[in-house]
Amino acid sequence: MGVSGTRAAVALCVGAAVMGVPTVAEAAPGESTGNVVVTYERGHVMSCSGRTGQRSVTVELYDNSLHGSFAQVHVEGPGGELGGGATPEKLFRRGTVRTHVPLEYLNGEETPAGTARIVGVYAPSGSPFAVHDVYEDNGWTIVADGTHQALQSRVVISLPGGTSRLTCGEAFAYDLKVTKTPL
């Protein structure tokens, strides 16, 4: 994974939950010294895509030991766009990934369009590698240090009208120390 891919992945891991960063006056999940908040976060990221018939499908799967899990599905093709998200209690479990995501038509009316079912398996691939990233988000300077471990995966999505095997271009487990300092 290149520097820009790592930066985007770390931003996804850490930035997705920055809105939930406690103020210093609140109890911080982790260490808090002055205005600095330090957390230790573990989880998984999978960014996948595929096709079913004439429709393109993208799926984002994420879990974080501190901030929980989410799954997001987007489908484009004849008949319009579908999309949806879910926050499953446990998305990644002992080498398997599994969730259901309610879908809506994204035509301004957001009417129900069925359910996407995502199932798959994953396993570590290669050696973990060190990551260090620094960026600003939502009034914080964020420094993430730790490791990423690439994952091999086989993931399938079942949609109303078709099933597709997904290719997960970014798939990794992470173990990070995240230091957040107000700007």
For the stretch 142-169, pLDDT in tens is 999 999 999 999 999 999 889 999 999 9
All structural domains of the chain with their residue ranges: 3-12+34-182
The per-residue pLDDT for 33 is 60
The secondary structure of residue 12, as a DSSP letter, is I
According to DSSP, the β-strands at 129-137 and 31-33 are: unpaired
| pLDDT tens-digit map of 68-114 | 999 999 999 988 899 999 999 999 999 999 999 999 999 888 799 99
- CB–CB of 61/91 below 8 Å? yes
Model pTM score: 0.80
pLDDT digits 0-9 by tens, 6-42: 334 444 444 443 333 333 333 345 555 679 999 999 9
| The pLDDT value given to residue 31 | 55
In degrees, to the nearest 5, what angle opens at C-alpha 141 toward C-alphas 136 and 146?
100
pLDDT of residue 32: 54
Q: Give which of 159, 37, 43, 14 is closest to 100, Cα–Cα.
A: 159
C-alpha 176/C-alpha 163 separation (Å) is 35
Contact 33, 40 (CB under 8 A): no
Whole-number pLDDT of residue 107: 84
For residue 30, the model assigns a pLDDT of 54
- Alpha carbon distance 10, 64 (integer Å): 12
How is residue 54 annotated by DSSP? T
